[in-house]
Structure 1
Amino acid sequence: MNRQPNIPLNRHMSRRTSRMNRRRATAAGAAVLVTLLLLTACSGSGNGNGNGNGNGGEGDGGNAEVELTLAHSYTEDQPQHTCGAQAIKEEAEAADVGITVEVFPNSQLGGDADRIASVQSDDVDIDIQGASALAAVYEPAGVVDAAYAFDDAAHLDRFFADGSADQLKEDFKEASGGVSILGAWSAGARQFTANKAIREPADLEGLRMRFPGSGQYLLNAQALGAEATEVAYEELYLALQQGVVDGQENPLTNIDASNLVEVQDYVSMSEHQQNSNLIVVAPSFDSELSDEQRTALEDAVASAVEQMPGCVEDAEQEILDTWEQDGSVEIVDDVDQEAFAQQTDAWFGENLSGDSLAVYEAIRGSAE
């Protein structure tokens, strides 16, 4: 059946029969509901879950066919898609347990805030989100994006893999109504760009730096000592060109994708934040997939997490090599990252509290 990705109620027409019946019954009214229930009874299903045991069809010794939607906001050229979403799709389907995955990049199924709401309501099955976007559901999740919280990408990987993040995962699942975090990766460190080099905190003084408008990013600006100016990402190139802002911060892949070096003279390698991506799944993951299907999806996410560091490193090195060869921008690689890290650590220690402080301390406590 043809999909209409920008109409949320039509995204799952090829899902398991029980969910399709339930949603169509809601839309069509009681008469249709009666008809569908009769059809379900005739097919041998005991209830809306297909077999009455919550195992997605295992009652008859097999796996019910299920089509999952995977959404994200990145372009099809970025590592989040090529090494992330596509890897999840390929690995999950290769497991041959009745799973197919349809990927919707470029915010086709809505912006971050819209998509996490769709995940909560089971209208999107899998989503790749930044931690700051998830803070709209559970505020302490945003601390994963705190400046210099992680020493590097490997530190972020360890935090989510070795049990250090278990409390955060549990609290997020409870606050979100059953959305699970299956994995996380860094899609590259965020760097400063401006028309002057930024080597130490004092160099930010007097600069209007564009930061995303989410809460944690604005806290990062304060901790780093920057004057934050909010500009929509889509308007950033023009804002820099016209001098509305003096600089900005983003991972190299974003800087390159948006051609920001055309309107900035320096890229300062501050590595002040790991650009987190968390892979989240809808509440139905627990109840409507078989054990084999859940394992296959978990393994697929783990495979993507494993691939991502090398993929990001290769993409970033290619970008840096191109910039050095064509001289389009000056790369500042002697940033005093330690000075920035000490400043932000002190700031967060004084200004975070409650569960947010607990998450920050758990992250820092997991550093080697």
Structure 2
Amino acid sequence: MTHHRSIHRTLAATAVVALPLALLAACGGDDDSASGDSVELTLAHSYTEDQPQHTCGAEVIKNAVEDADVGVTIEIFPASQLGGDADRIASVQSGDIDIDIQGASALAAVYDPVGVIDAAYAFPDAAALEEYFNSESADQLKSDFKDASDVSILGAWSAGARQFTANEPIREPEDLDGLRMRFPGSPQFLLNAQALGAKATEVAYEELYLALQQGVVDGQENPIVNIDASNLVEVQDYLSMSSHAQNSNLIVAGPRYDDLSDEQKQAVDDAVADAVSQMPGCVEEAEQETLAKWESDGSIEIVDDVDVEAFSEQTDAWFRANLEGDSLAVYESIKDAQE
């Protein structure tokens, strides 16, 4: 990222040298960039340019900030161009990336309790997650995260509920017995597996299709948009609509955000709020189109009679018995906010 900015500076310097002196004089005066007021921020994420996190998230933030005309522009780097999640949060802390879109479990690398946002059945739906982050209940979490990381949480949305796929239907906790289920390797997702009663097997996301095809694992869990993007329906027979976790995305900002003027900060905050408000509809539309396609072509059998209540009660009891300290406090604040 530092290299990227150095390239920009070199190109800019070369362009200035090449300009005629008369043109340089004409460009002076009231231009904001000449007075040092213009700011370009970098926004990074790990999703493809076809996924809602980019089209309804990153692009909405960029366009809204630039439309505010407060001297701030944003350059987007999708698809992990600036590194994987663990690398990028370190770059946000150092100031090499200004804004990033990350799952709560990845952010737990710098403040462990934030991972609880991804706890199984912590939120019943996407609206509950959004409401939590807009409420006073989340203020302590945001403050503690900032103290631990020097990174600000600007907002959060759900990129869809996580669902089970396998070669047999999963309708109740007992149906997970004996199945080797792939879960992401982050601590919170591995806790989710225990709470749900699943035997977790760690497989890199990039290797998941092959692992399912070769029978290394029997099933997995992901949001519908990810299942579709990876063509997992080609190697799985059943999609069980468990909706057992909201696939969180937190919009976080590093030290350059703190250095913005109040007007510029407000523009960024408003832009994030715009994206947060648009995301649920965008994700739902993408999911419904995908489900309709699967139903039409018979790609995978959709199981919609999952006993969500049984799963939810089991996981809630497990987390209350096994989480401790600040992690338990975050979990309880989430649940209390829903009462």
The normalised TM-score by structure 1 is 0.84
Matched, 1:144 2:104: no
Q: Which residue of 1 aligns with 2:45?
A: 72
Query: 1:11 aligns to what SS in structure 2?
Result: helix
Query: 1:164 aligns to what SS in structure 2?
Result: helix
- Pairing of 1:1-368 with structure 2 (within 5 A): 8-13=1-6, 64-176=37-149, 178-287=150-259, 289-368=260-339
Deviation at 1:291, TM superposition (A): 1.1
Deviation at 1:9, TM superposition (A): 1.4
Deviation at 1:154, TM superposition (A): 0.5
Q: Output the CA distance in 1 between the equivalents of 2:94 and 2:290.
A: 39
Deviation at 1:145, TM superposition (A): 0.3
Q: Output the CA distance in 2 between the equivalents of 1:173 and 1:182.
A: 11
Deviation at 1:94, TM superposition (A): 0.4
Deviation at 1:328, TM superposition (A): 0.8
**Aligned in 2, Cα 1:63/1:296: closer, same or farther, shift over 3 Å?**
farther
Q: Output the CA distance in 2 between the equivalents of 1:249 and 1:350.
A: 24
Q: Which residue of 1 aligns with 2:15?
A: none
Q: Deviation string for 1:177-214 (max 9, x for gaps)?
A: x2100000000000000000000000000000000000
Q: Output the CA distance in 2 between the equivalents of 1:159 and 1:9.
A: 35
Q: Which stretches in structure 1 are left out of the alignment for 5+ residues? A: 1-7, 22-56
Q: Output the CA distance in 2 between the equivalents of 1:183 and 1:14.
A: 31
Query: 2:136 aligns to what SS in structure 1?
Result: coil
Query: 1:189 aligns to what SS in structure 2?
Result: strand
Q: Deviation string for 1:244-284 (max 9, x for gaps)?
A: 00000000000000000000000000000000000000022
Query: 1:188 aligns to what SS in structure 2?
Result: strand
Deviation at 1:13, TM superposition (A): 4.2
Deviation at 1:12, TM superposition (A): 2.9
State which drifts further: 161-170 or 204-213.
161-170
Q: Which stretches in structure 2 are left out of the alignment for 5+ residues? A: 11-31
**Aligned in 2, Cα 1:365/1:14: closer, same or farther, shift over 3 Å?**
farther
Q: Output the CA distance in 2 between the equivalents of 1:12 and 1:130.
A: 26
Q: Output the CA distance in 2 between the equivalents of 1:141 and 1:362.
A: 12
Moved over 2 A (4+): 10-15
Report the residue type matching 1:195 in the other structure. N
Deviation at 1:365, TM superposition (A): 0.6
Deviation at 1:290, TM superposition (A): 1.1
Q: Output the CA distance in 2 between the equivalents of 1:333 and 1:107.
A: 33
Report the residue type matching 1:110 in the other structure. G
Q: Output the CA distance in 2 between the equivalents of 1:123 and 1:106.
A: 17
Q: Output the CA distance in 1 between the equivalents of 2:6 and 2:246.
A: 37
